[in-house]
Amino acid sequence: MTEMEDRWLSINEICAYLGVSNDTVYKWINGHEMPAHRLGRLWKFKKNQVDAWVEAGGAADRSKRTKNLDEE
């Protein structure tokens, strides 16, 4: 069972898991350094890496993060 939980997820699976669209995930890959691995034409994701990225604020809007840093 551990092997299935640690498998690579497809773009559709990670979108369903996070509750966002494909466009949002592609935006996060390109502009927010979302942990993703390209295999040929396909993007693959490790759930634990994506979870850590989300928890660290990786999906947050950069303009809001910059504004909050400026206020400190």
What is the predicted pLDDT for the residue at 13? 97
Q: How far is 58 from 46, CA to CA, in rounded Å?
A: 15
Q: Who contacts 32 (Cβ-Cβ below 8 Å, separation ≥6)?
A: 58, 59, 62
Each of the 72 residues of the chain gets a pLDDT tens digit; together they read 455 668 999 999 999 999 999 999 999 999 999 999 999 999 999 999 999 999 999 988 765 554 555 555
For the entire predicted model, the pTM comes to: 0.74
Q: Which two tokens stand for residue 7?
A: 């498998």
Spell out the domains of the chain, with CATH numbers in brackets: 2-71 (1.10.1660)
pLDDT for 60 equals 85
Query: Could you give the C-alpha distances from 10 to 5, 24, 49, 61, in angstroms and in order?
Result: 13, 14, 14, 24
Calculate helix-pair angle for 11-18, 22-31, nearest 10 degrees: 100
DSSP secondary structure letter of residue 7: S
